Amino acid sequence: MYPDAILKAWRQIVSPPFRRILWRSLALTLALIVLVWLALTRGVAMLMDRYALLVDYPLIDSFALIFAGIGIFIALAFLVPPISALVAGYFLDDAAEMVEGAHYPADPPGRPLSFGRSILYGLRFAGLSLMVNAIALVLLFVPGVNLIAFFGANAYLLGREYFELAAGRFHPMPEAAAMRHRNRGTVLLAGLVLAGFVAIPVINLMTPLFGVAYMVHVHKKLAAREARAMATATVRGG
Mean pLDDT by 10 residues, the chain (238 residues): 91 88 86 87 77 62 74 78 78 89 92 78 78 74 78 90 91 93 96 90 84 94 92 74
The reported pLDDT for the residue numbered 55 is: 56
Number of domain units in the chain: 1
Question: Do residues 222 and 186 make contact, with C-beta atoms less than 8 angstroms apart?
Answer: yes
The reported pLDDT for the residue numbered 237 is: 67
The helix (run of H) or strand (run of E) holding residue 88 is helix 58-103
Work out whether the CA dihedral 126, 91, 31, 80 comes out positive or negative.
positive
Task: Please tell me the distance from the alpha carbon of residue 220 to that of residue 4, in angstroms, as a whole number.
Answer: 13
The reported pLDDT for the residue numbered 24 is: 86
The reported pLDDT for the residue numbered 142 is: 76
Reduced to 3 states, what is the DSSP secondary structure of residue 59?
Answer: helix
User: CB 66: neighbour CB atoms within 10 A?
Assistant: 10
Give the range of the structural domain holding residue 49, as residue numbers without chain letter.
Answer: 3-237
The reported pLDDT for the residue numbered 153 is: 86
Of 167, 89, 160, residue with least CA distance to 126:
89
Question: Do residues 107 and 133 make contact, with C-beta atoms less than 8 angstroms apart?
Answer: no
Task: Please tell me the distance from the alpha carbon of residue 121 to that of residue 127, in angstroms, as a whole number.
Answer: 10
